[in-house]
Chains A and B, each alone.
Chain A
Amino acid sequence: MEIRCDNPFLPIDIIINILKRLPVKSIVRFQCVLKEWKDLLESPSFIAEHARHSAHERPLLLLHEYSFKRGCLSISLLNHKMETVEVLSIPSIDPFRCNWRIIGSCNGLLCVKVHRDQAWPRSFLWLWNPVIKKVREIPLTTNDPMGRCEYGFGFCGIVNDYKIVKFYKQKIRKKKKDQHFHLIKYDRVEVYSLSTGSWKELEFQLRAIEHAEILSQAVNTDGTISWLLLSIRNISPIIVSFDIATEVFRFTQITLDYGSFLGLDLYINKQNVHYVTEENSGSRFIGVWVAEEVASESRKSLRCTQKYRIGPRSGGLRPTCIWGSEIIFRDTKFKTQMEDPRCILYLFNLITNAWRTFNCSADCDWCDVFNYEESLVSLSV
């Protein structure tokens, strides 16, 4: 490229307006241009400005492929044509190589759960910005559970903080008289704040969820983290929302009962959306229900209306996330010929009703997908 040197000297506000439009990779590279640029590009105000500008762009799709034998195969970012734009390099920290899962994606940060060793099934958490290659280990809690945990990860702009929520069952049985003890999935909840760098235990209405199973991956908007739960005491599921600023849980019963619930995600206007399967004379449909808040005098509840009906489809399609105007379904097969892809993504466009298909790599047994926006958010406090 021909570069001429008869350019005028640009004032800093014009330079900022140009730099905020650059991809994260270029910004990281240009920190070496000038000291003044380095300070500017690392300043919280520029990082926020850059995030505001990129918020208008369609998020990338993060695809985490793994094999049951070999662990993580690759983590790649795909554009709207499902072309790989970047393969993320995994930090060269030993435990990171083995058994780990991404549990949340928010503002370019990934929350990753790591098993240090398969024989030592204690979980560790990492926050990771893969584009600027920053990793931060989240310390263990004082009463780190041995059993299963469910997590959520999100950000709240009002308090400018990232938080991780962890539901778990304490190993030591306290209430010996409780005959339903074995049915209790979670009896504790803790929250980690990135700004304070510490965990704390939260009080909440355990009764509402203690016999419940979390059905969905946690989803986050600015300010809340939500899960879909199904309790053995009630056939209707509950949407649990955690307010990141106030650290208060809200439980909203979904009052309709139909089909079997598959998951929860957020769509236009950040409304809660959930999916339901229906069997109809041998055919299988997937209903997409949108939950809207209805406030009455005594309490708030969610009214659900079916907005879309997808199908009929054969096979065990499972919705995993909403990406732009598409719902992504995952289909996994276990007994196919070696060369066939075992993990396939089907994308259904809610506006055009068109389907498209994406084959994961041949040795991929399972994949997770997330919306992902590249960001400069660093993990320093």
Chain B
Amino acid sequence: MSSSVEAITVLSSDGDEFKITVSAAKLSKPLNWMLEDVCFSDDCDEVPTIEVNSKTLVKVIEYCEKHAPRANSGASDSDAEELKKWDIEFMKMDVKDILFHILMAANYLHMEGLYDLACQTAADLMKGMTVSQIRKIFHIKNDFSSEEQEQLRRQHPGCSFD
């Protein structure tokens, strides 16, 4: 890899091209390995594909670009504070639709910071939900038989299957 390269191009699973700076790509271990293995110089026409859809990849790259300067250089406490506020705002942005996709992507790309943030956001969203709301977002069908539900209600008065 030529050291003059500052940004690389990757393909999403939908086949769209995205640019990501080298320093931002280093936040992900698999991307980092790619940087070392794959030729990214101008005369190489191979563009690696990342198994993440376009909508999610935009968010992941946005996160990487924001966090890269701090991850590479270390930062003051005020920067860390600012970054925390940014994370909260970042997770607010229409994230309900794509939160699970971000979770999968962060897991697949080994991005610990984003993975933790997404898990915590999911937990914060879920904690006030009812059982049927949880089933809906996880695509789960109630598999307790009516006898089992009755038995559990006897053991734990107040428990709800809805």
Bound-state Cα–Cα, A26 to B156, Å: 14
Query: Is B138's CB under 8 angstroms from A7's CB?
Result: yes
Contact of A22 among B96, B107, B123 (CB under 8 A): B123
Bound-state Cα–Cα, A8 to B122, Å: 14
Number of A-B residue pairs having CB atoms within 8 Å of each other in the complex:
84
Interface size class of B (residues with CB under 8 A): 35 or more
Query: Is B119's CB under 8 angstroms from A4's CB?
Result: no
Contact of B140 among A2, A21, A34, A133 (CB under 8 A): A34
Main secondary structure of the interface of B (DSSP, over half): helix
The answer, yes or no, to whether A43 is at the interface (CB within 8 Å) is no
Residue of A nearest to B128 (CB): A26
Query: Is A32's CB under 8 angstroms from B139's CB?
Result: no
B17-25, B62-70, B98-106 - interface stretch: B98-106
Query: Is A35's CB under 8 angstroms from B144's CB?
Result: yes
The answer, yes or no, to whether B1 is at the interface (CB within 8 Å) is no
Contact of B126 among A17, A22, A34 (CB under 8 A): A22
Interface residues of B in 122-160 (CB under 8 A from A): 122-123, 125-131, 133-140, 142-144, 148-149, 152, 156, 159-160
Given A22-B123, A23-B127, A29-B131, A35 contacting B160 (CB threshold 8 A): no
Query: Is A17's CB under 8 angstroms from B135's CB?
Result: no
Contact of B103 among A2, A14, A19, A22 (CB under 8 A): A14
Residue of A nearest to B103 (CB): A14
Q: For residue A8, which residues in chain B have a CB less than 8 angstroms away from its CB?
A: 100-101, 104
The answer, yes or no, to whether A31 is at the interface (CB within 8 Å) is yes
Given A30-B134, A35-B144, A7 contacting B126 (CB threshold 8 A): no
Bound-state Cα–Cα, A14 to B119, Å: 8
CB distance from B100 to the nearest CB of A (A): 4
Bound-state Cα–Cα, A9 to B127, Å: 19
Given contacts A22-B123, A32-B160, 13 further A-B contacts (CB under 8 A): A1-B96, A1-B133, A3-B136, A4-B96, A7-B138, A8-B100, A10-B100, A18-B119, A18-B126, A26-B128, A32-B149, A32-B152, A33-B138
A–B pairs, 5, beta carbons within 8 Å = A7-B137, A18-B126, A32-B144, A33-B135, A35-B144
Residues of A within 8 A of B (CB): 1-11, 14-15, 17-19, 21-23, 26, 28-35, 133
